[in-house]
Structure 1
Amino acid sequence: MATFVSRVQFLDDTDPFNSTNFPEPTRPPLYTFREDIPLINQISGVHRLLKAPQKPDDCALQLSHNGSYLDLESTLAEQRDELEGFQEDGRGKKHSIILRTQLSVRVHACIKLYNSTGRELRRALFSLKQIFQDDKDLVHEFVVAEGLTCLIKVGAEADQNYQNYILRLGQIMLYVDGMNGLISHNETVQWLYSLVGSKFRLVVKTALKLLLVFVEYTESNAALLIQAVNTVDAKRTKFWSNIMEILDEKDGVDTELLVYAMTLINKQTLAGLPDQDSYYDVVDSLEEQGLEALAQRHLSRKGTDLDLVEQFNIYE
């Protein structure tokens, strides 16, 4: 009968917005796992030994050395690859199997955002970025559970402070799972583009940065951004009017904003559009709104930012 002896600890993440990052107890006990029995049939023994705060049915097992979650329906023998390097690292550091709350249960608690307000909402939004940084697997689960829809709903009804909190969650986009979720959720891209028309510069700047990350991620994303722009601007007469307002400097000069706006246009029109018709639709709309005259106005000034000059030259 093959056995696997491991240190075991738990993380108190029953409240995902107030969870600890320090496994307990500090002196982990040892637990002897059977290698030939599915983990689902052994987890209650670990739970009992640790007196963990989670409900037994809500528990998952995570490896401390690489953050991977073990498949509870499988045996340890079937997951040998996951355990590679587990016993101890080159510095002699011993690792643990961590008992914690399942991803789906924690995501469900995160999505309570729908119903919270005021201080509780602020705390939740502020914590989400850290939660995603601490556990990248949670990002995928959040997207699958329609968490992006939740964030947009909150963001559409929120003031600029909450919108900034939500935009910090652009962290999601830095993970492939989150980016793939975004690619298949055009409503989020629409929301980001609509924020480019915000009265608040920090909101505008962050939204532009995230759209640039989105467009640079893969060529096909340019067409998805066009789709989002067309949807948002369908209520107006001019496409890309949010971007044109920035370039027209209606609220004074902010060179960084101008560079981001022109870079986004260039990434779109020059790099990523799928066909000539789309290309001319975008260029015609921009020219009708006077982009060429705006470019000349900026280029004729003394001391125009070199990055901005470069972006206008690329467009030309």
Structure 2
Amino acid sequence: MAVTLNDIAKKAGVSLATVSLALNGSNKVNKDTKNRIKKIAEELNYVPNARARALVKKSTKTIGLVIPEVVNPFFAELAQSIKDYVRSQDFNVILCSTDYQSEEELRYINMFRSGQVDGAIFACAGDLMAEHNDLIIKLVKENIPVVYVDRDGLNHDLIPIVKSDIYHAAYQAADYLISLGHKNLGFIGQSVERLSGVKSALKNQGLEIKEKNIYYDYLKMEGGYAAGEKIAARDEKPEAVVCLNDEMAIGVIQALIAKDVKVPEEISVVGIDNIKMANFYNPSLTTVNIPVSKMGEKAAEILMKKITGKTLSPKEKFFIFPTKLVIRDSTRKI
């Protein structure tokens, strides 16, 4: 339950009016009382409810969208599709980028708690933000509807999830590489679900991934480039690698080519997402298509239903999109 002015008044032993005046800095309350009330508010983790003030207008007509980064084409496309849908409903979007920083997401959660939005979408946080799921559940219980996009959650009644079958996407990528004759596979990026998909594809063929071929602590294109440099420096290199996403795959390819390691002649590289750049890169990138625009539109649609109090179907509480392998020039048969 959210802390109210009544809670503060009860603990401070003063009237509700006194609490309201004190927290608004009124000179009608003496300094000592004002400081005592503010201290109690901090102790109780009181968040000023701008949403209550907005009830006069019935709605802020705004949603919050939290994404890991703006520059990744995947998130740019996701944000655009969400914006297009909510604008069609006469709503606005506050775009919030965490740059994969936990404290940044926390700041946005607290901002939403203050009532500046009618609802929020949290996208693709990965393993870094799992600690905040309880806080986001608290946000929902304070009547701010939330939808997750490609983010794990446990209570789909409270927080619906829209996602792609990312486990199967990684499985498809690895299975295709195995079908080309590659047995010594690598994986680059932070995702338990994607790594599990790769491992399952290998296991089904009686193979397994070597620990030295797992480059887990990497994100973004720069991370892909750094992992590619490490692979290029090895005497025994993996025959092929599956990357967290296309952005990282492009970074890997850049690093390998810079170190005179030929793609795909020496190492095949597969991404996940199928961003537009993937088709125009050289070599064009074999990847797995994630229907990101459809995911964004569906997430926005579900959030608007939540905001307007409509009942969701069981499918809408956990909506999953299929993925599809897209074969291009960054992979080859051996």
TM-score by length of structure 2 reads 0.29
TM-score by length of structure 1 reads 0.30
Larger RCO (CA under 8 A, 6+ residues apart): 2
Between Structure 1 and Structure 2, the one with more helix by share is 1
Between Structure 1 and Structure 2, the one with more strand by share is 2
